[in-house]
Amino acid sequence: MEKQIVTPKRSLTTETEKLLNNQVGKEASSSSAYLSMASWCEKSGYANAAEFLYRHSDEERMHMLKLFRYINDAGGHALQPAIKDIRHEYKSLRDVFEQVLEHEIRVTESINNIVDHCFTIKDFATFQFLQWYVTEQREEETLARRALELFDIIGEDGVGLWTIDQELGKLESFVQDGGAEQA
Ligand code: OFO
């Protein structure tokens, strides 16, 4: 007979566990969406944009795992999410980065809702854990906006798209070095 393990008491509420598992799904879906975008960029000849998105796909998986492990550490049950509705085709390179920005804004809203919920119910441990995601989302939105600005600053005609692809390859170090704040 299988040994029954008595579930010890925990501070994590069922509602918070559900919200965190929902966020696991969003991070996994981000990882898959960026992987699909990376593939489209690569086969369309935008090698730097592809590398940028491959890296971001890996980062999103790391975000998912961080939440996943937290849920179990806090006494909950992290659930492997199903991934649905991943787009494989894009109209243009600009379309890809417009999707990235919209996606990040939706993820920020979702994180903010969970943070608000945790504060309201005084789950300060989860509230504090989520601060990392608050900072991360701000950085990722900045990065996506900077990427989109390149299209207007450089222009897409002639060698424009080639130049934009080159600049996309340098963007992360610019934002990480605080260039976005200093500019
Ligand atoms: Fe998970 O960092 Fe954006 O989405």
Predicted pLDDT at 42? 98
Of the candidates 43, 169, 41, 153, the one whose C-alpha atom is nearest the C-alpha of residue 93 is 41
60 CA from centroid of ligand 1 (Å): 6
Residues touching ligand 1 (Cβ under 6 Å) are 27, 30, 60, 63, 104, 107, 136-137, 140
160 CA from centroid of ligand 1 (Å): 28
Q: Which atom of ligand 1 is nearest to the CA of 64?
A: 1
Q: Which residues of the chain have pLDDT under 70?
A: 1, 173-183
Domain segments of the chain: what residues? Answer: 14-175
Predicted pLDDT at 30? 96
Predicted pLDDT at 146? 96
Handedness of CA 79, 71, 67, 101 (dihedral sign): positive
Read off the pTM: 0.90
Predicted pLDDT at 175? 56
Predicted pLDDT at 178? 53
Predicted pLDDT at 118? 98
Give 14-175's CATH code, choosing from 3.40.640.10, 3.40.50.150, 1.20.1260.10, 1.20.1090.10: 1.20.1260.10
Predicted pLDDT at 51? 96
18 CA from centroid of ligand 1 (Å): 19
Q: How far is CA 162 from CA 36, 151, 153, in A?
A: 21, 11, 13
Q: Considering only CA atoms, which residue is closest to atom 1 of ligand 1? A: 60
Residue-wise pLDDT tens digits, 63-89: 999 999 999 999 999 999 999 999 999
137 CA from centroid of ligand 1 (Å): 6
Predicted pLDDT at 127? 98
Q: Is there a contact between 100 and 144 (Cβ–Cβ < 8 Å)?
A: yes
> 174 burial class (0-12, 13-18, 19+ CB within 10 angstroms)?
middle
Q: Which atom of ligand 1 is nearest to the CA of 140?
A: 3
